[in-house]
A and B are shown apart, each in its own frame.
Chain A
Amino acid sequence: MVEETLVKRVSTVLSQSFYMIVEEIKSIYKTKTFVVFAVLMFLPVQLILVSYATSQYPQLLFEVEKAFFLNGILEEGVIDAFSDAFASAMGILIIRRGFIQASLGATTYYINIPIIAIVTLLTCGLVAAEREKGTLPVYVSKPVYRTQLVLTKFAAFALVSFALTALAYSTVYFTYALTLLGPLGMLFTGLPETISMLLVLIFFTWIFILDIGAITSLFSSIIDRSILAGVTSLIILLLLSILPNMLVIFAGVGIASFTKYFNIPDLINQLIDFYSLGFVEYYQNMWLIIKQTGFFSQIIISRMIDPGTALIIVILLIVIPLISACLITEKREVK
């Protein structure tokens, strides 16, 4: 046997990994779980159409139309009105004329339990299912690194979920534009204000999905049964997103200064608000909210985290579980 050079080995591993990702993607979209994931991701589109049909937001429509007719098509006010209406519909924290607009919107749905549950279900088999099925011994007895198996599977999941998130949000975005403003509203869809908002939403929702996926992958590499890995991960993720708020209510506001670092949905929501509104508007809004909410402002303040730290945490929550999953899979015996 001739020893291959390091360069040759690296190029082999890279091209092999690329082919593995392609095959993995082809395999993912045939699974039932993926179909459910896709349905859940596109569910808001249906909901918008339903709520439009039943006129759930005449107020917003009124605001936009008023601005539209008063100011003419390319006036600043129309753009602001649409951008506000869109932000509000997406669940971004906005304030208009000194009042908090309802921040129940698309993010309320996406950064929430249904997506946590389905992503957990989608990734719980990453390593565990291969162990369960007995295909892992076959794979790892081939000239491939176990880290490669974990990372290519995760990469395939990441790519597929990015495509799905981008597609779902874009559809939601255009559906909103259409239902809020009619065919004329489509003229506003390309504006930098709303497009940047859309990109921020897609990016952080994707990061949220990757967080869930990476944490579940870690459990998948520790626990041999995929369902058990999924349930464990789901329980821990739900506790992480519910417990901090409950603790604040029962154990006092002080505890939130510690627990806020682990509340993934809250971190993501804050990041979305910050990056879609920008520094000035975000803190202006926060200040107004704190001023208006009285007692509850304490809770809001205690849960606030600076966006830089939040960004580092949500990125680390992908990287650390993933590296751990690789190391564990490398070290664990395949029985």
Chain B
Amino acid sequence: MNAVAIRGLRKVFGRFVALHEVNLEVPEGVCFGFLGPNGSGKTTTIKIILGLLEPDGGEVYVFGRKAGSYEVRRRIGYLPERIEYHNHVLCVDFLKYVGILNHMKPSKAERTARDILVWVGLEGWEDQPIGTLSAGMKQRLGLAQALMGDPDLIILDEPTSNLDPIGRKEILDKVKELASEGKTIFFSSHILSEVETVSDYVGIIFHGRTIKQGRLHDIKRELIRRKAEKYELVVDKTSEVLSILTEKGVEAHVEGDRIIMFASNPGFLERLIPKVLVDADAQLMRFTPVGDTLQEVFLQLVSEVSLEEGESG
């Protein structure tokens, strides 16, 4: 069964269409990376999954039930993107309250709260007011509250934003640990490298539309195929190499000091280039496929969507 299933989701704020059409399927037990640039509709989608916002169209199911229903809320932990706390409240009291909201008895809630605080690395801060915590610690407290009540689905909305690299790593390590325990994690981010390190499934959203989703492995393979089509070459004798390449029938042009080439089939350029270099007596400085990071492919995907939108609009 899918932990989250979204079909044709649409959301409008006044005249602004936040979500055009979002389709997502998050299988149970995976760490799902929900990717998209800022303002693409990640938080809106998450809030609809939680039942905080009402959708204007489409269907959202969590564990096979309507999103936001009482039964569903028992099984979800949530860390919002932006959360400040009441500074005078003690860490353990805040978690205890969240535990009570999760139908725990106060004594059990307090015990669990203390355990979880230790687990997220806030040992010794349990009885301190939240106001005394640093930003990174507050984020770990946020993660701790999302874990109260042992939820089956943990939704983390940009858990690493506003954190320094160390804080980021701490949170990501904890997320990895949770993922290895078999929890379903719904992790939103605009930073692709982060998603790559923790997620096995990803969905990409842009301008309120899901443009790609599936196993990270599959998407990457597709990306490798794409990137194999385009290469860049940097040599000392640019014009000579370019003329030899065009003679051999390779589609190539110069951009700055680089030669950009397009291969008709994979592996063709890798075999050709050494010969060309020998022929031109040129020195090789760089020869790489273009778009070798998820980032670049993501940008490419996004630009394709923008172009389509521009044409249709």
Using a CB–CB cutoff of 8 Å, the interface residues on chain A facing chain B are 1, 3, 12, 16, 19-20, 22-23, 26-27, 30-31, 129, 132-135, 137-145, 333-335
Question: How far is A141 from B80 in the complex, measured between Cα atoms in Å?
Answer: 11
A111 → chain B, closest Cβ, in Å?
A: 30
B50 → chain A, closest Cβ, in Å?
A: 4
Can you list 11 residue pairs at the A/B interface with Cβ under 8 Å?
A: A1-B63, A1-B71, A12-B103, A16-B101, A23-B96, A27-B86, A133-B83, A133-B86, A137-B52, A143-B102, A335-B47
Q: Does B281 contact A (CB under 8 A)?
A: no
Kindly list chain A residues whose C-beta atoms are within 8 Å of the C-beta of B21: none
Do the beta carbons of B70 and A143 come within 8 Å of each other?
yes
Kindly list chain A residues whose C-beta atoms are within 8 Å of the C-beta of B52: 137, 140-141, 333-335
Q: Please, which residue of chain B has its CB at the minimum distance from the CB of A26?
A: B93
- Given the known interface contacts A134-B80, A134-B84, A141-B78, the answer about A27 and B70 at a Cβ–Cβ threshold of 8 Å is no
Question: How far is A143 from B71 in the complex, measured between Cα atoms in Å?
Answer: 7
Kindly list chain A residues whose C-beta atoms are within 8 Å of the C-beta of B76: 141
A-B contact count (CB 8 A): 89
Question: How far is A23 from B89 in the complex, measured between Cα atoms in Å?
Answer: 10
Do the beta carbons of B83 and A135 come within 8 Å of each other?
yes
Using a CB–CB cutoff of 8 Å, the interface residues on chain B facing chain A are 47, 50-54, 63, 65, 70-71, 73-74, 76, 78-80, 82-86, 88-89, 93, 96-98, 100-103, 105-106, 145, 149
B46 → chain A, closest Cβ, in Å?
A: 10
Kindly list chain A residues whose C-beta atoms are within 8 Å of the C-beta of B74: 143
Kindly list chain A residues whose C-beta atoms are within 8 Å of the C-beta of B88: 27, 30-31
Binding site secondary structure of chain B: loop
Q: Please, which residue of chain A has its CB at the minimum distance from the CB of B65?
A: A1
A122 → chain B, closest Cβ, in Å?
A: 14
Kindly list chain B residues whose C-beta atoms are within 8 Å of the C-beta of A22: 106
Do the beta carbons of B103 and A137 come within 8 Å of each other?
no
Question: How far is A12 from B103 in the complex, measured between Cα atoms in Å?
Answer: 7
Do the beta carbons of B85 and A23 come within 8 Å of each other?
no
Question: How far is A19 from B108 in the complex, measured between Cα atoms in Å?
Answer: 12
Do the beta carbons of A143 and B84 come within 8 Å of each other?
no
Q: Nearest 9 pairs between A and B by C-beta?
A: A142-B101, A334-B52, A134-B83, A141-B50, A143-B74, A19-B100, A143-B73, A133-B84, A141-B78
